Amino acid sequence: MPSVKIYAEHRDILDALITSKKVASVGGATKTGPFSTQIDAYVFAASIAMASNMPTATDNMPKAKNATPIEEDVVLRAFGARELCFTATLKEEGSDESLTDSLNRQLRTLADRDFTSLFQNLDRYAHAGFSWLAKHQEDESSIRDLVLAAIDQIECVESNITDASGVRDPLLDMLDMQV
């Protein structure tokens, strides 16, 4: 069964990010982190690197010997994890492929529904995100400040929409019904 991995070098930052009695360290069992599960912290770390488009290179990924696995069913039930898997695959570029070949390969990978390769791509982003968090942890006064700094460092994508008259917020319909 495929799984995502949290590598041993990121165990301390993971324990700081989650508040749970199920962690290996005393630090993780205290009320510190904003996340209640490992998968939530994993998704956050992957999101940081994905927004920055800076995954760990495949050659630089550590061995999975002492990694903490999170099984497929847990990953796929986590909010946003499935979408991140697909996005990581679509962001993957073939170095010597044409655009059409790259897109065809990516679509075949998504259609196969074998999450092994999807999770390997996602692990590269999560690894980079955990590395960023670990590197910047000493710069912040608390783990919550670190999470906010991570969110703050990610620049929002600018849209070039000049005419917003056709854009309608879907919540307006619900508000209209309440009046």
Give mean pLDDT, residues 2-23.
85
pLDDT at 26: 57
Q: Which residues contact 37 (CB under 8 A, 6 or more apart)?
A: 18, 20, 78
Residue 57 clears pLDDT 80, i.e. is over it: yes
Q: Three-state SS for 9? A: helix
Give mean pLDDT, residues 63-76.
91
Residue 27 clears pLDDT 60, i.e. is over it: no
Residue 128 clears pLDDT 80, i.e. is over it: yes
The pTM score is 0.75
Measured between its terminal Cα atoms, the distance across the chain in Å is 51
- Partner residues linked to 3 by β-bridges: 71
Residue 153 clears pLDDT 50, i.e. is over it: yes
pLDDT at 62: 93
Residue 124 clears pLDDT 70, i.e. is over it: yes
Q: Three-state SS for 140? A: coil
pLDDT at 152: 84
Sign of CA dihedral 130, 134, 137, 143: positive
Residue 170 clears pLDDT 70, i.e. is over it: no
Question: Where residue 179 falls among pLDDT bands split at 50, 70, 90?
Answer: very low
Q: Give per-residue pLDDT as tens, 80-117.
A: 888 888 888 777 766 677 777 777 777 777 777 778 88
Burial code of 22-56, b = ≥16 C-beta within 10 A, e = fewer? ebeeeebeeeebebeebbbbbbbbbbbbbbbeebb
- Partner residues linked to 68 by β-bridges: 6
Question: Where is average pLDDT lowest: 15-29, 90-104, 116-130, 135-149?
Answer: 15-29
Burial code of 152-167, b = ≥16 C-beta within 10 A, e = fewer? eeeeeeeeeeeeeeee
